A and B are shown apart, each in its own frame.
Chain A
């Protein structure tokens, strides 16, 4: 029997060779990737908001690893992304990568303009990264067995932001999680020119009415049609909550068609104690706080009805897809994968204050630090018992939010009966 004798030098050589061998496929892939990848998102690669900074860093890292690939970000108005993408696809000038709201996925999918990501992702990504994403979001992107997008920035979407300092004035630390108590607290918080509660009532992809209604849990959506009962008992109760908030002065009857941006700006200026806000904007809200200390900003779930758990409606949220007509699928797929590296997930959390896409990243010490307290709150909300998503196929998605917003404006700004307002909304939608 003979023994092969390894000395220290040969061990180092073999190790180096093994590492080089393991890296070969990756290096070969890096060499193969070239050309341009066009991205349509609402973010700008030149912008200064936290999410834009992270996107720029990700692009920087990707192009450093793939010097022959040029990433071109073409920012679009966020509410036009899906529409423009479908129109551009018909004209064969679609971008390679597209940001879309989850609520539009079904509609975009019906036009067959999105690639099946399971066919373009690397095996490693499919086996290690995809299962690491939050299943509640990741599963919603699978239509008839095809994964047409990946969720980005898992978040509880529309939640309640509040000022701890304002709530401290009435001796509470957080908004009550039952509507009767919430209404009373909002009334007490209304003081001078400050309103207890602010709602965006004119955004095309957000409905405060549905957010309040979600306090009744997932059963509000009919599993077979995806509709909710606009004139049903729960909707009537929701309308009464709105009217009570108006009656005690928490909601202003002259602030009827504010958009999310208006609410954000006016909250920064101190007009509200609590508002409905888009969770991924938390850091932005903090940064622009003018009338109060940004550190006083905190987040809460929506109050519930009766004994039901506090509500968290997980959507609309952003997802990212790949064009079926992309001429550079390998590079586009590789870039899409780069949005979900551990490093990227950590950076979305650390710089932009977002819940990381990769659940395993939450083990990083940063997410246990006081700095990440709100990210922990967001993460808890994602798995809260009252968490629910919009149905995968919500009918009349282009009409339902504007129609319900007009109904909400009527509930806040007129004395018309609840029945009349809700019946009109129902008839407008033809449900």
Chain B
């Protein structure tokens, strides 16, 4: 039995329910504003985007319902499929370089102690910069004429300047390099946090059992880092798959569509060609691909032993 503030005796179960209800109310009050914000700026526009994808919208004028015509036009366009391929190429090549690089950097920075923090701060600068500023910066660095930094490096080795952004063979690798440069420090931070959560005793026990550094890495570090890796890979996938500002600033989707990813196709269709109906259809397709990729990651990495940690 308990006594309520008004002096009325309450049954213990009832008092518990009342407390739980109060806690729920407080929780809702705290989460509510954020939830409303997410609904207002993410969920509702997404539904509106889907609604527009079913209409012919050109230059901000809705010219009527067209059903799935925008999707049919998109999937019958060979360049749209090519763009999906380019997006996946850009995403997975960038991931394949950025994640191992971030892991190496995270382990190195942890060993460096205070100097590591300083190094991390420096590495974080590109991530903190606007992508379009990064693009302009790299455009100046890569300019293939006297005055360009990379051109000067080539000249120092007796090589002529290279058109790194306008050569069909070099544009995509250059874009990937800039994308990795911009984002890998963000991944490093998350992995440093993940590494810090692995108990040191495990390494000591592994050493007693005679495990080498490489074996410890594969049998302890990687499995226990799975949750952090899942976060890193998921976030970088979303970031790379949806990357458009670097492409606008560096290559404009060219040369000859070599860097025309799905995100750039969306920009070009919706904001250059002003076909906003089809642009929204591309956005919906991009959303579905993003979700599918993340579901795959959760399925693969979620089974790792450390995933429950």
A residues touching B (Cβ–Cβ < 8 Å)?
79-80, 83, 86-87, 90, 107, 110-111, 193, 201-202, 204, 252, 254-259, 262, 265-266, 269-271, 290-291, 398-399, 402, 406, 409-410, 413-414
Contact = CB atoms under 8 A, between A and B. Distances in A.
Interface of B: 59-61, 139, 143-148, 160-163, 165-168, 170-171, 251-257, 268, 271-275
B168 A256 contact: yes
Contacts of B274: 83, 398
Contact of A252 (B163, B170, B254): B163
Contacts of B271: 80, 83
Contacts of B145: 193, 265-266, 269-271
Contacts of B254: 201-202, 256-257, 406, 409
A256 B166 contact: yes
A270 B146 contact: yes
Nearest to A258: B166
Q: Which 4 A-B pairs have the closest CB atoms?
A: A257-B254, A256-B255, A254-B167, A269-B145
Nearest to A407: B256
B166 A107 contact: no
A315 B243 CA distance: 33
Contacts of B275: 398
Contacts of B165: 257
A414 B167 CA distance: 11
Q: Which of B251, B256, B257, B273 has the most CB of A within 10 A?
A: B256
B59 A413 contact: no
A257 B166 CA distance: 5
21 contacts: A80-B271, A83-B274, A86-B59, A86-B60, A87-B60, A90-B60, A107-B59, A111-B59, A111-B61, A255-B144, A255-B163, A256-B166, A257-B165, A257-B253, A257-B254, A259-B252, A265-B143, A266-B145, A399-B273, A406-B256, A409-B254
A210 B171 CA distance: 26
A257 B273 contact: no
B149 to A, nearest CB: 13
Contacts of B168: 254, 256, 413
A412 to B, nearest CB: 9
Contact of B147 (A83, A110, A257, A269): A269
A138 B144 CA distance: 41
Q: DSSP class of B's interface residues: helix, strand, loop or mixed?
A: loop
A266 B59 contact: no
A109 to B, nearest CB: 11
Given A87-B60, A402-B273, A291 B146 contact: yes
Nearest to B254: A257
Given A202-B252, A409-B256, 15 more contacts: A83-B59, A90-B60, A111-B59, A193-B161, A255-B144, A255-B163, A256-B254, A257-B251, A262-B139, A269-B147, A270-B145, A398-B272, A398-B273, A402-B273, A406-B257
Nearest to B268: A402
B143 A269 contact: yes
A266 B60 contact: no
Contacts of A87: 60
Contacts of B61: 111
A255 B166 contact: yes
A85 to B, nearest CB: 10
B256 A413 contact: yes
B147 A256 contact: no
A319 B281 CA distance: 34
A43 to B, nearest CB: 19
Contacts of B166: 254-258, 262
Contacts of A265: 143, 145
Contacts of A399: 273
Given A111-B61, A414-B256, A193 B160 contact: yes
Given A202-B254, A409-B255, A256 B167 contact: yes
B190 to A, nearest CB: 34
A121 to B, nearest CB: 28
Given A256-B166, A256-B256, A413-B168, A402 B272 contact: yes
Contacts of A402: 268, 272-273
Contacts of A291: 146
A262 B250 CA distance: 11
A287 to B, nearest CB: 16
A413 B255 contact: yes
Contacts of A256: 163, 166-168, 254-256
A406 B254 CA distance: 8
B166 to A, nearest CB: 5
